Structure 1
Amino acid sequence: MRIHHLNCGCMCPLGGALYDGFSHGIKAHLVCHCLLIETDSHGLILIDTGFGLQDMRRPADRLTRFFRTLNNIQYRDELTALNQVQRLGFRAEDVRHIVLTHLDFDHAGGLTDFPHAQVHLMQQEIDTAEQRHSWLRRERYRPAQWSARSGWHGYQAAGERWFGFDAVNQLQGLPPEILLVPLPGHTLGHAGIAIRQPNGWLLHGGDAWFYRGELHQAQRHCTPGLRFYQWMMQADGAARRKNQQRLRELSLAHGNDITFFCSHDAQELQRLSPGFSID
């Protein structure tokens, strides 16, 4: 199993270091941290998809004006998962499975670029995305990115627990090393994705946290911009805070056993993918 850390989207909201903690100018730099996993017998597996090619080329048809403006999304074809898969010498058809943390517009946009892939996520996320009854749900869940779905698999927590967390241990057609770890709060069906490696675990935490300072220390530290964004986007604030606290405790107790990273922290991506440059 070979794992590539990819940036499948760039967002540069106004606020600079008040958002990302490091930018010197007025614009922050947020990424869409995805994984491409090469396997011997299961083809390629994508963990989240970031923005898709059609998001880059027809943003007004796929993304709302509010989030296009607030997040200052950068429209660059070369950042799409499809483009990066092809640059690595593969075809779109080689991506046989996609595992999603959730269905927000900046995580699920690439689904339409891989129409033959089997898609795995929590059933609660599917159910919630289909019930777009509030302003926030209509803004975050964009059916143009995923409504023509086939080969989707929705899961409930079942099987052995993972470091005390509920988990889905058997994803259909996927190797047993890949688990869904329900982490509701940001969305009701949000999940982390745990991957067993010979030397420990990776945990893609999705949007369960946004900033590197929220884990690995007893006292949470997060920039004002990302504190606000997490509050604005939360579907269940109490669940989000509880799960983030549990993850913080897990990172302190098992920091040598688990490599933690979230979706949007550029410095976390840079640490795990030395070839990545923040621009």
Structure 2
Amino acid sequence: MNRERAAVCHCLLIETDSDGLVLVDTGIGTADLQHPDRSLGADWVAYAQPALNPEECALHQVVRLGYAPRDVRHIVLTHLHRDHTGGLPDFPHARVHVHPDEYRSVTDPAAAHHRYSLDRFMPSHRAHGPLLTPALPALAAESSEWFGFPGVARPQGMACELLLVPLPGHSAGHAGIAVRDGGGRWLLHAGDAYMYHGELEHTPPLSHPVLEPVQQGAQTDAAARVATRDRLRALRHDHADEVTVFSAHDPWELSRLAAPGHVT
């Protein structure tokens, strides 16, 4: 196994011609740093031990790239867990897009996962009233599949080619975010569908001894999660020349993508 590294909250910033900046997931936010126990939950902070480094917050990184916070017009979330939504209050003007199943899980009291999902979508991250918007199923004229993954949805009011690809098991409406990079390849931000590259790259799948218990504790459907992982393994194997898959918390994957010479 690779040498020890701290887990990350891997976000993706997309420059578009039509929709301004699009941020995929938001990680830990600046407000979380001020009162982490209250904002993120004392038990979670004690267990996860987040770095709470202001320079790592999405807001600071956007500004460091020369943009203003308001340039981020859209946020697309893989799901609504606290380590993915902390930056929402830093971009209160942005429209926030989620898969319709994830949207339903926090807005419909009759949904099976409503109470569970609200517990995971932290009150501090939604107190400002984020512009939460369900993505729309693909139009009849479009394919509802992406490399064989069914149920693809598109964010409302966005012209750029960005898709929410259902990757069930981790949360009620967990989805990967697929977008083309500058070279025409697809990038798939797979969120928490898996947490360690060994799950896709090794045969049999190799889980991380620290991250695997986290994954099992958070999942809503174990069988669905394993099936999703196996489909991602097949995607990586069969379409490595077309798609780059990465997860939210694997620091080795982040290092590869951030290496000099890697164009995204």
Q: List 4+ stretches of structure 1 deviating above 6 A.
A: none
Aligned to 1:168: 152
Tell me, what secondary structure is at the counterpart of 1:30? coil
- Counterpart code for 2:44: F
- TM-score, normalization: structure 1? 0.84
Higher strand share: 1
Aligned to 2:189: 204
Q: Deviations over 1:172-218 (max 9, x none)?
A: 22234210001111101110000123431100000000001111344
Tell me, what secondary structure is at the counterpart of 1:33? coil
Tell me, what secondary structure is at the counterpart of 1:64? helix
Counterpart selection for 2:30 from 48, 53, 72: 53
Aligned to 1:239: 224
- Counterpart code for 1:52: G
Compared with structure 1, are the counterparts of its residues 151 and 133 closer, same or farther at alpha carbon in structure 2 (3 Å cutoff)? closer
- Matches of 1:267 and 1:154, distance apart in 2: 32
- Matches of 1:119 and 1:216, distance apart in 2: 32
**Does residue 94 of structure 1 match 2:68?**
no
Shift of 1:128: 2.2
- Matches of 1:91 and 1:47, distance apart in 2: 17
- Matches of 2:40 and 2:70, distance apart in 1: 25
**Does residue 158 of structure 1 match 2:135?**
no
Percent same amino acid at aligned positions?
44
Counterpart selection for 1:129 from 106, 111, 114: 106
Aligned to 2:174: 190
Instruction: Report if aligned partners of 2:146, 2:152 keep a CA contact under 8 Å in 1.
Output: no
Aligned to 2:242: 257
Instruction: Report if aligned partners of 1:216, 1:255 keep a CA contact under 8 Å in 2.
Output: no
- TM-score, normalization: structure 2? 0.88
- Counterpart code for 2:206: H
- Counterpart code for 1:148: H
**Does residue 228 of structure 1 match 2:213?**
yes
Instruction: Report if aligned partners of 2:136, 2:153 keep a CA contact under 8 Å in 1.
Output: no
Structure 1: tracts of 5 or more residues without a match? 1-16
Instruction: Report if aligned partners of 1:158, 1:166 keep a CA contact under 8 Å in 2.
Output: no
Q: Deviations over 1:61-98 (max 9, x none)?
A: 21111110111111111111111111111111110000
Q: Deviations over 1:112-132 (max 9, x none)?
A: 000110111012213323566
* Matched residue count: 250
- Matches of 1:234 and 1:153, distance apart in 2: 23
Shift of 1:104: 0.5
Instruction: Report if aligned partners of 1:157, 1:166 keep a CA contact under 8 Å in 2.
Output: no
Tell me, what secondary structure is at the counterpart of 2:179? strand
Structure 2: tracts of 5 or more residues without a match? none
Aligned to 1:268: 253
- Matches of 2:6 and 2:154, distance apart in 1: 36
Aligned to 1:78: 55
Counterpart selection for 2:18 from 34, 41, 44: 41
Q: Deviations over 1:214-251 (max 9, x none)?
A: 11344211122122111111111111111111111111
